[in-house]
Structure 1
Amino acid sequence: MGFFGNYDTPGRGVLKTPHEKRPFFKFWEVYFRHMWHLMGLNLLYFLFTVPLVAALMGVSFTGDMKWLLLVVISGIMGPATAAMTRVVRNYSQERPTFMLHDFRKAFKLNLKQGLIMGYIDSIAIVSFIVGVPMYSKMAQENSIMYVPYVLCLSCMLVFFMMHFYIYQMMCSTTLTMKQILRNSLFLVSIGLKKTIYTLLASLFVIAFNYILLILPSTIALAMTLLMFFPFTFLTFVACFNCYPVIRKYVIQPYYDKTGEKNPEDKDIDPDEVLFEDKAAEEVAVPVQKKSKPKMIK
């Protein structure tokens, strides 16, 4: 009999791997492990927004021309977002990553599709900025206009959620832009649970930063946070939650169809296993009761 239990009792033995942590705790563990790299990546991505902000401030008095300039300049945000997403995806999936090298490589590889998506995003943002207030004002005057108003809000929300998948597929697959957009629309509903979790987290972070920006006393804090925190954090949330959905419904079916082995699989080659744990197959040895020793008087 040991001090802390009876080790003679047969059982499964020692597990080969520790118990998997719950997703919430695993998320924070992985995030804090790469937090400093993610802050540096956020600063790099923030630098791409500086020309865009400067352009908007420079044409603030030119009327509608600022929207055209916004579309032209903001296209470059597409490749930058794809590159950032590639690096953050690697961090979230615990893959070896060299931040600057991988960012530059992903920027070049996704330049064409990134520019296309950047222009699509710019046109969509301008459309929603103009359309939502316009339909809201028209709905106050005529109740029938609530229909296009609600449709516009719904399209904006769905388009926002599609971005949880768009840039990840762009930097993880060789799909065309049309296929990426179509798959993103389907994955929003297929992975609805993870999509909703990501949406709620994104809305919370966006609202928090917006409140800090509109308060005069916290503008400095808001700008500091924008430099080091929100872009990579929101991308990390999307990658951690939604990349498994992409892997299951987009990447893995390709390998199943072609019969190839998915390089992301971490299965161990049976020929390389030195010791095999078959504790679950062992037959329990009956414990024999120790008889009381006889004493000769």
Structure 2
Amino acid sequence: MGIFSQNFNRPGPGVPKNAPKKKGIARYFEMLFRDFSTLWKASMLLSICMIPMLVVIFLLFAPLFDYFVSGNVASLLPLSMILIFILLIGVSGMLLGPALCACHSVILKIVRDEPGFFWHDFKKAWRSCWKQSYLISAVFSMLIALDFVSLCLFFGGSHQNATDGLTSTLLLGCIVLSLVIFFGVWFISCLQIVFMNIPTAGVLKNSLLLLFGRLPRMVPATLIHIVFLLACFLWMPLAPIILLIGVPGLIMLWTDMLAWPPMDEVFKLEEQLKELREKELSGEKSSISD
């Protein structure tokens, strides 16, 4: 039609019915642009639940960061205060656990191209996951906080040549390895809690096996989380801005995109979810016919 025609809604070529899904970075940006509002809302709710932990982290790591940078021993907190702050991080981690599971539930629906209603899905996941997630998150948040304290003490001590040689290299390697293991097991545990109803010991065992059994995907997903946390630590004044613009949701989208295929491959989750939906639909139809 001409430029002055009344019909300005000429249909485009569309997408072929059997067109393959995009992969990699193209797939990520497709989901990002399509569901950015959902990701931002999930990120905001997660950030609100993180506020108690962020306050404790700032009180603990502000002095440690000075020691990390300058090696000034006078800036260190007493050991008793450090342990109290780590315990408070664990207490605040109880609130973070259900929020993480609820966010993963919402974001995994985006990854799986399953339609959903944000508030309903978030509340449903929170209610179903909080009993198992709060204790796991409390323990792992304390362990990860201990690792970050160890890193600060290690690099702060290096300014005074308190650590050197092979011993320091092995010590740093152990700290980094434990950080990867703790974070990876916590991350994979949250994903399992969303979809699977198994005891906590089984969740932790499966998480450890998945972390090392599916290294090409699980370790990069874990490292993305760790790099994000390190960036927030090194540029602490910018952390509130990072949270406000919804960066946690963008990070979780990428890590869930990496972690979902191996989890589905191992546990056949998509098949189980499909069977569950069919049972629900058949139940609704039978109730309507009655």
Structure 1 residues 69 and 262, CA gap change in structure 2 (3 angstroms): closer
8 Å Cα contact 2:144/2:182 also seen in 1: no
Q: CA deviation at 1:247?
A: 1.0
Calculate the aligned-residue CA RMSD, in Å: 3.0
For 2:226 and 2:150, locate their aligned partners in 1 and report how far apart those are by CA, in whole Å: 21
> Aligned partners of 2:138, 2:204: CA distance in 1, in Å?
14
Distance 1:246 1:93 in 2: 12
* TM-fit CA distance, 1:41: 1.4
- CA pair 185-207 structure 1, distance change in 2 beyond 3 A: same
Secondary structure at 2:163 match in 1: helix
Letter aligned with residue 29 of structure 2? W
- Counting only pairs closer than 5 Å after superposition, residues 1-297 of structure 1 correspond to structure 2 as 17-55=18-56, 63-64=81-82, 65-134=84-153, 137=157, 140=163, 143-144=166-167, 146-199=169-222, 201-202=224-225, 205-206=228-229, 209-210=232-233, 212-214=235-237, 219=238, 222-251=239-268, 262-264=272-274
Total equivalences in the alignment = 238
- When structure 1 is superposed on structure 2, of 173-182 and 144-153 the one drifting more is 144-153
Q: 1:52 to 1:152 in 2, by over 3 A?
A: closer
- 3-state SS of the aligned residue for 2:81? coil
**How big is the shift at 1:27?**
1.9
1:82 deviates by 1.0
How far is 1:110 from its partner?
0.9
Would you say the 8 A contact 1:78–1:115 is kept in 2? yes
Deviation readout 1:123-150 (Å, 9 max, x if unpaired) = 2123213333455649715743543432
1:145–1:264 Cα change, 3 Å: same
Q: Output the CA distance in 2 between the equivalents of 1:141 and 1:130.
A: 19
SS in 2 for 1:90: helix
Please state which structure has a larger fraction of its residues in helix.
2
The separation in 1 between residues aligned to 2:231 and 2:147, in whole angstroms, is: 21
* Distance in 2 between residues matched to 1:152 and 1:47, nearest whole Å: 29
Cα gap change, 1:168 to 1:135, in 2 (>3 Å): same
Q: Calculate the TM-score normalised by the size of structure 1.
A: 0.69
Contact 1:90-1:96 at 8 Å conserved across structures: yes
Q: 1: distance between equivalents of 2:168 and 2:56?
A: 35
Q: By how many angstroms is 1:206 displaced?
A: 4.5
Gaps of 5+ in 1: 1-14, 256-260, 266-297
Please, which runs of 5 or more residues in structure 2 have no aligned partner? 1-15, 63-76, 276-290
CA distance in structure 1 between the aligned counterparts of 2:31 and 2:190, rounded to whole angstroms:
21
Q: Is the 8 A contact 2:136 2:186 kept in 1?
A: no
CA distance in 2, matches of 1:56, 1:16: 50
**Aligned equivalents of 1:228 and 1:32: distance in 2?**
15
Q: Point out the structure with max Rg over C-alpha.
A: 1
Whether contact under 8 Å (1:79, 1:111) holds in the other structure is: yes
State whether residues 140 and 182 of structure 2, in contact with CA within 8 Å, keep that contact through their aligned partners in structure 1. no
